[in-house]
Amino acid sequence: LLTIALLFSIANPQTDKILFVGDSMTSYKGGWHHQFAKKLGREYINVSIPGKRTEWMKSKLIQTIKLDPYFKTCVIYGGINDGFSYVKPESALKNVQDMVDICNQHGIEPVVIVGYDAKKVMVNTVYSKEKTEFHSNRYAKIQKLFVTQLKNCKIIPIEVNLTRADTDDGIHFKASGHRKFAEWVYQNYTK
């Protein structure tokens, strides 16, 4: 029996690891993702890179799973850079749904983070008021599509407690933002 159990564990080396795929919002050392994984008592790999859009995230997910397909959970947090570019919101939705589908095909639990309330957080940014409003509206449209259209994944809804004061620049979290966001994700993930 021990031999059968050993062979099973070698053939199915599924671990408790979390894969984080995202952009700058998830790339900070010790950021919300680290705090979230720590609350769960789980190890993680983070392949998030600042400035990346969901199309890149999808290719990075595919590449990472080819190298190591034994993640229990994949946390996907993107779309803000799609909102700040001229990517169609529907394209961002398709990219994230493709990532969710890839995770499901590999037996990995997909978790999609919708983000924070752009209207409360994205104020007084480095961009002009008009540009900030234009792009935050595009990001909000992407978020709405995530909430209403994504299938076969756990969705962490829009975080409603963060404000501009929890960011350095009206976009990226400072320490208080990371703490609040980690707690929000944890509370909604464990429901």
Mean pLDDT, all residues of the chain? 92
Stretch 11-31: mean pLDDT: 87
pLDDT single digits (tens) 89-100:
999 999 999 999
Q: What is the pLDDT of residues 124-154, one digit of tens each?
A: 888 888 988 998 999 999 999 999 999 999 9
CA distance 48 to 78: 9
Instruction: Give 190's pLDDT tier (boundaries 50, 70, 90).
Output: very high
Q: Distance between CA atoms of 169 and 121, rounded to whole angstroms?
A: 9
Query: What interhelical angle do 175-189 and 32-40 show, nearest 10?
Result: 40
Local confidence band at 12 (pLDDT 50, 70, 90 cut-offs):
very low
Give this prediction's pTM: 0.91
